[in-house]
Chain A
């Protein structure tokens, strides 16, 4: 596609439920990143995929968070047993060149 597409754009979920966020990167982009922005804070790195290499999961805040990517296509970020502190905007970016990030518009997650 023309840009990075994320779905849903907004998600309200009850505490304790699982949620799945989707990211469609730009076709041909080998690198894919997930970040999140909690209210009043900066962008917090979560996970990074590069081609077929093992993902860099160093930013995942707990074992409730996981992400998958099939080849160089769609990625899903799953949050299990959601907590209120998981409320944030989750941003996905893809890159075909070093530092050439293109961000999606994000998924705003609200845990009530």
Chain B
């Protein structure tokens, strides 16, 4: 049972345009959501997060939107840069304090110069 789903395995955008990565979840108990970025042969690195009490969080070129009623979140990158090319994972956690994250399958983003 995949509780966090990233239905697009890959996305290709032109440099300077907007990249939109999507993520859906099924567990309504999830209350904290994160995006991680992963380059080949490296571990994932934290990018941005959002609590369920918010619907938007922005950090520079990165913005995460949360739609709780639709159980959907998205990551917007604008403007996209070639260095943003990586695998992006969304992750979610429930209302326990374990810190255990449930990850999606990942979306490979390619930003073309």
Contact = CB atoms under 8 A, between A and B. Distances in A.
On chain B, which size bracket covers the interface?
A: 20 to 34
Interface residues of A, number: 25
Interface stretch (A11-19, A65-73, A75-83, A98-106): A98-106
B102 interface: yes
Contacts of A103: 43-45
Contacts of A43: 44, 89, 91, 103, 106
Given A33-B100, A48-B98, A99-B34, A105 B41 contact: yes
Interface of B: 4, 6, 9, 32, 34, 36, 41-46, 49, 89, 91, 93, 97-106
A109 interface: no
B94 to A, nearest CB: 12
Given A41-B105, A95-B99, A104 B43 contact: yes
Contact of B44 (A50, A56, A91): A91
Nearest to A95: B99
Contacts, number: 60
B32 A56 contact: no
A99 B43 CA distance: 16
A4 B42 CA distance: 11
Given A43-B89, A99-B93, A48 B100 contact: yes
A33 B100 CA distance: 8
Given A99-B32, A99-B49, A45 B43 contact: no
B98 A93 contact: no
Contacts of B97: 98
